Chains A and B, each alone.
Chain A
Amino acid sequence: MKITTDTFKDNARGALVNPGLQQSMAGVKRYYVPARATAMAKLPEFDALRDQARDIKNHTLEHLDLYLEEFERKVVENGGKVHWATTAAEARGAILDICQAAGAKIITKGKSMVSEEIALNAHLESAGLSVVETDLGEYIIQLRHETPSHIIAPAVHLTRADVVETFTKAHPHLPADRPMDTPEVLVAEARGILREKFLAADVGITGANFLIAETGSTVIVTNEGNGDLTQSLPKVHVVLATIEKIVPTLEDATAILRVLARSATGQEMSNYTTFSTGPKRPDDPDGPEAFHVVILDGGRSELIGTELQDSLRCIRCGACMNHCPVYQAIGGHAYGWVYPGPIGAVMTPTHLGVEKAGHLPNASTFCGRCEEVCPMRIPLPRMMRHFREEEFKLGKQSGLPKLALRLWAWAAARPALYHFGARLGVGALKVWGMGRGRLTTLPLAGGWTAHRDLAVPEGGTFQAQWAAGKRPIAAKAASPGTSESRAA
């Protein structure tokens, strides 16, 4: 995909004035935020489960090699095969090899953010394969040649009108006067088309929410069941996952599942939670004949033992972006790469480097809502600040804000000079204000005054007034009815 992280400000500007996107983002906030809150309120042990989920992942990350190797042993025991890929290119190559060895023509895909990260579809298509996304949102954006704008609701940026327009163009074989005015008929239309693809597919590729070492199982959660049809109908099932998706036991997976859907959509469980353990067994009525798991490192093992290790706990629920005021304002595409929102603000500079992706960790108010709602308790603002520090060390920040901060830092370290300068500055601003309470313009403050008035200082600094002897009025009793009788 085209990376646009360096034009983040322009991306954001465009997003802010896009009425369809703004309508959609208002819907995201209106739906997902209360949904999670309601689910949380119904489960008294929710916070304790988050601690448990965090601890499971932390333990696993401390012993990642152990669990990954055990996983492979089990997969092989079950009749499957594991392919280790250090880089995106190796992962793409391994998957293409599997498809070509199977003589595949048509590939169906369940939703996989990792497949976006490694640009898998383009690679398979360039080798002449037909790739069909089966998650409804992914199907729609595939038709539009767009990328996902949310990690669990890829087409959340679109309005129904957009979908109607897309289906009209993409399904010309259907009667032009067919009803397209409700979500139900649109879903039915997609379902009809995708059903044929499911049945025709030679290889089905899914992601994995979890890899389970104990049993060699992979787990996916969907609301549409498209993952199930993707993986069980074709002869070959390929799971694409990254190394940090591993958990030790079935019980660990279910413990984390208890907070996954609740955090994501407010559901107690997603409609389908599917455990796959190897290919079809002799007595099974259906299932794939071959089961492959492609496990990608993609730079993740290097994060262990660093400031960024905690980001590997992410279970891709999307709660952080649902609750982020910046994401709510600009949507996912503005972030410029695969992963948007707060997790994207950490993953993007991790994978692309802070020089290319510096805007993302900077475009945050550090309100902390992301960390507050993260089921895995990932300290996202701390990691964004870490990237700001990396950027600072590179001397990359520039412009008026940086100069102003340097001046501020210099003055603030010299209290006497600071107090003196502050009095002058405040006095000057008061004079400039000419008796008004607020300013609508101020040189060098265009960033502020473009959209907001700026209050004129009250006058005289606190320090100056205190030093001159001004004191608060005599204190009255703090709480009526306390022991004033002693004063009598």
Chain B
Amino acid sequence: MQQISPVTAKFPASARPRVGLFVTCLVDLMRPSIGFAAAQLIEQAGCSVDVPRGQTCCGQPGWNSGDRATAATLARQTITAFEPYDYVVAPSGSCAGMIKRHYVEVFVSDAAWRARAERLAAKTYELMAFLVDVRSMSSVDVQWPATATYHDSCSGLRELGVRRQPRQLLATVEGLTLVDLPDADSCCGFGGTFAIKYPDISNKIVEAKTAAIASTNADLLIAGDLGCLLNMAGKLAREGKDTAVRHVAEVLAGMHDIPAIGRTHSEVPQ
């Protein structure tokens, strides 16, 4: 008889919610491992994971640039691809926030699409919030000896209330010591197109962030949004600092074998 995994036994197929994974454009292009980590964690939480092909981008870059038409096109595309699922989960507070908080604003003058946006918003979650608040995940079975510090990405924190959940799960990682990051809730300076349009100001803001990170003497910086992570990792590397940078999903999924962001296998231990 086929060996039944504990998860499958606890959550037989009929009881497993179907999650549509919104992988996010940055994860899709820059660091697919985060997507696999997210899928792994969602399955661990007793759900089945599907990745609808019709997804590309949540539309936030267009929305934040004032291009409502593009935002609406991509929102309609996203809603259509994901509305068949029980839940929509994204490893990003920024993208989850766009879907959950802003899609209804995109369709301010289209009642039909606004209703569909509302329905999708109700079942859309950032990954950590989904695991802890919806699926009651209380721990992970992972070892990761390191001193780490956690940065709260702005959208996840302020739009979705993600703060306690990642710290709760990270606290159960064996060997991982979490040190408070001073001004953890201060912006890293990425802000999407802001980092490109106002690079000098963005640089000043991320300098303050890397100084705070350095003050913790942490080996590892963890956060829940790849945009922030790429920004902070890029600055830390340019400053010659040796703090490794990872997405919280990678750590909780125990992905030791992929190098930290911006690193290769041959570089310093991570």
CA distance A462 to B159 in the complex (A): 26
A15: min CB distance to chain B, Å:
9
Bound-complex Cα distance A432 to B49 (A): 34
Segment at the interface with A among B63-71, B111-119, B143-151, B216-224: B63-71
Residue in A435, A474, A484 whose beta carbon sits within 8 Å of that of B10 in the complex: A484
Beyond A330-B204, A452-B238, 19 additional contacts (C-beta under 8 Å) are: A16-B201, A366-B191, A367-B154, A405-B62, A405-B67, A405-B193, A408-B61, A416-B53, A437-B267, A450-B203, A453-B262, A455-B230, A462-B23, A470-B36, A472-B43, A475-B40, A479-B139, A482-B6, A482-B10
A363 near B194 (CB under 8 angstroms)? yes
Given known contacts A325-B186, A455-B234, A457-B29, is B201 in contact with A393 (CB within 8 Å)? no
A463 within 8 A of B: yes
In the complex, the answer to whether A415 meets B77 with C-beta atoms within 8 Å is yes
Interface residues of B in 45-80 (CB under 8 A from A): 45-46, 49, 51, 53-57, 59, 61-68, 70, 73-74, 77
Report the minimum CB–CB distance from A31 to chain B (whole Å): 14
Partner of B63, one of A385, A416, A453: A385
The residues of A with any CB-CB pair to B shorter than 8 Å are 9, 12-13, 16, 325-326, 328-330, 362-369, 371-372, 382, 385, 387-393, 397, 401-402, 405, 408-409, 411-413, 415-416, 418-419, 422, 425-426, 435-438, 440, 447-448, 450-458, 460-463, 465-467, 470-480, 482-484, 486-487
Q: In the complex the two chains form, is A478's CB within 8 Å of B65's CB?
A: no
Tell whether, in the assembled complex, residue A462 and residue B35 are in contact, meaning their CB atoms are under 8 Å apart.
yes
Residue of A nearest to B51 (CB): A466
**B interface majority secondary structure:** helix
Q: Tell me if B28 and A413 are in contact (CB < 8 A).
A: no
Inter-chain contact A389/B68, CB cutoff 8 Å:
yes
- Measured CA separation A158–B185 after assembly (Å): 28
- Enumerate 14 A-B pairs (CB-CB under 8 Å) in ascending A order: A9-B198, A12-B198, A330-B204, A369-B154, A388-B65, A392-B66, A409-B74, A413-B56, A437-B264, A447-B195, A451-B203, A455-B230, A472-B49, A487-B4
Q: How does the 8 Å CB contact mask read for B228-246 relative to A, with 1 for contact and 0 for none? A: 0011011101100000000
Determine if A405 and B141 form an interchain contact, defined as CB atoms under 8 angstroms apart.
Answer: no
Number of B residues with CB within 8 Å of any CB on chain A: 92
A451 and B235 form a contact (CB under 8 A): yes
> Are B61 and A405 in touch, CB under 8 angstroms?
yes
Minimum CB–CB distance for A21 against chain B, Å = 12
**In the assembly, what is the distance between CA of A440 and CA of B5, in Å?**
45
Most chain B beta-carbon neighbours within 10 Å: one of A325, A363, A474: A325
Residues of B within 8 A of A454 (CB): 230, 234
CB distance from A225 to the nearest CB of B (A): 35
Contact (A419, B53) CB under 8 Å given A393-B66, A455-B261, A457-B30: yes
Binding site for A on B (CB under 8 A): 4-7, 9-10, 23, 25, 27-33, 35-37, 39-40, 43-46, 49, 51, 53-57, 59, 61-68, 70, 73-74, 77, 105, 135, 137-141, 154-155, 158-159, 185-187, 189-206, 208, 230-231, 233-235, 237-238, 253, 258-259, 261-264, 267
The answer to whether B56 touches A415, judged by C-beta atoms less than 8 angstroms apart, is yes
Shortest CB distance A117–B (Å): 25
Q: Do residues A401 and B199 form an inter-chain contact, with CB atoms below 8 A?
A: no
With contact pairs A326-B201, A438-B234, A472-B40 given, residues A365 and B190 touching in the complex (Cβ less than 8 Å): yes
